[in-house]
Amino acid sequence: MKRHLTILSAAAAVVIALTVSGCGGSAAGDDRSASGAPGANEVKELRYQGWANNVTLPELAQDLGYLGDVKLNWVGNTISGPQDIQSAATGQTDFGGAFAGAVVKLVEAGAPVKAVINYYGEDSKTFNGFYVKEDSPIRTARDFIGKKIAVNTLGAHSEAVINTYLRKNGLSADEIKQVQLVVVPPNDTEEAIRRGQVDAGSLGSILQDKAVANGGLRSVFSDFDLFGTFAGGPYVFREDFLAQNPNTVRTFTTGVAKAIEWERSTPRKEVIARLTKILKERGRNENPAALQYWKSVGVPAKGEIKDEDFTRWEEYLKSAGIIKADLDAKKLYTNEFNGLLTDAK
């Protein structure tokens, strides 16, 4: 019940915010994209939220010179993907990124947003694992019944992966409801597992590496185990912004696609060095230590979005009450602004 309350309250908040802001066109008094024909007097400065101690693909693209005359305007850091795309939907920022299922939830709530490029994903080097103590009796999906699993937020990537794992391994809807998801800050997840405050927890990136290095934990499953290499989530823009600033969005999207391919083709040490330089030079009082654990870009080639990036989560979305009928993925995204894809055709 708690999960559904979270989903419904988030959806209600977006609907209210969209009503107040005129469906995202001019929230917070911003009317930069409200005049002129498509392509005329386009916005050249994109407001966005970053992630503390991390360098996003748009930030890398700007540093590499891939954004041309388009500039990024950092307005603060986000606390989660769902929050990030809600900010874009209500006009507080111009773009945001989140788990694909969270994008579906936002659109179903009435937000006029559309995905333009995938920005994160999982592969054999970069993935989220679900860990327990070495001596834990949990070894199969059925062993999770009645247990607590730590996740960073509800209604996002980890919840969808857990739900899919349990369902694929034969648990009924009633049995899945008996698996309790507990919100724990990622930095505290390892200790929560070790102290027995939760029975399992989701760990990725530096937190995963440190936990494994400390010993005493083992992985029961991972999202890569379930799906192999896959795209996890896209960047979205409001539809009115896309219509009125097509060239700006094309520059941004193509620049991000180039940054994805730069990370894919550049030696790991060079990528880490570049990310570290960006983080240190921007002066946000951050710790670059986590960047040393960067392993791979994770995102499938050129950030191309496909139907399966959304339909992969269809059963989870239905079970959570986010969608009632089969998902119409085509209405959720477009690849038309990704020059690495359109120019190759």
Structural domains for the chain: 2-121+229-342 (3.40.190.10), 128-227 (3.40.190.10)
Read off the pLDDT band of 207 (50, 70, 90): confident
Instruction: State the pLDDT at residue 154.
Output: 87
- What are the pLDDT digits (tens) for 61-111? 999 999 999 999 999 998 788 999 999 999 999 999 999 999 999 999 999
Please check whether residue 128 is in contact with residue 81, taking contact to mean a CB–CB distance below 8 angstroms: no
Task: Give the distance from CA 240 to its chain's centroid.
Answer: 22
230 pLDDT more than 60? yes
Between residues 182 and 8, which one has the greater pLDDT? 182
- What are the pLDDT digits (tens) for 184-194? 988 899 999 99
Q: Which helix (H) or strand (E) segment is 179 a member of?
A: none
Read off the pLDDT band of 345 (50, 70, 90): low
Between residues 290 and 241, which one has the greater pLDDT? 241
Q: Find the DSSP H helices in the chain.
A: 2-20, 57-63, 81-89, 100-108, 157-168, 173-177, 186-194, 205-214, 223-227, 239-244, 246-265, 268-281, 308-311, 314-319, 339-342
Q: How many CB atoms lie within 10 A of CB 53?
A: 15
Instruction: State the pLDDT at residue 67.
Output: 98
The torsion angle over the Cα atoms of residues 249, 242, 39 and 41, rounded to 10 degrees, is: -80
Which among 253, 233, 231 is positioned nearest to 241, based on CA atoms? 253
Alpha-carbon span 204 to 183, nearest angstrom: 15
Read off the pLDDT band of 44 (50, 70, 90): very high
Encoded tokens for 188? 């505290």
Encoded tokens for 124? 């054999």
Mean pLDDT calculated for residue range 297-307: 95
Between residues 126 and 36, which one has the greater pLDDT? 126
Mean pLDDT calculated for residue range 20-46: 58
17 pLDDT more than 60? no
Encoded tokens for 204? 């990725």
35 pLDDT more than 80? no
Share of the chain above pLDDT 90, in %: 78
Q: Which long-range contacts (CB under 8 A, 24 or more apart) does 210-219 make?
A: 211/131, 214/190, 215/134, 216/133, 216/134, 217/131, 217/132, 217/133, 217/134, 217/190, 217/193, 218/131, 218/132, 218/133, 218/134, 218/136, 219/129, 219/130, 219/131
26 pLDDT more than 80? no
Question: HSE on the CB side for 248, CA within 13 Å?
Answer: 24
Task: Give the distance from CA 94 to its chain's centroid.
Answer: 16
Between residues 118 and 4, which one has the greater pLDDT? 118
Whole-number average pLDDT of the chain: 89
Read off the pLDDT band of 18 (50, 70, 90): very low
Residues in the chain: 345
Instruction: State the pLDDT at residue 79.
Output: 79
Mean pLDDT calculated for residue range 239-251: 98
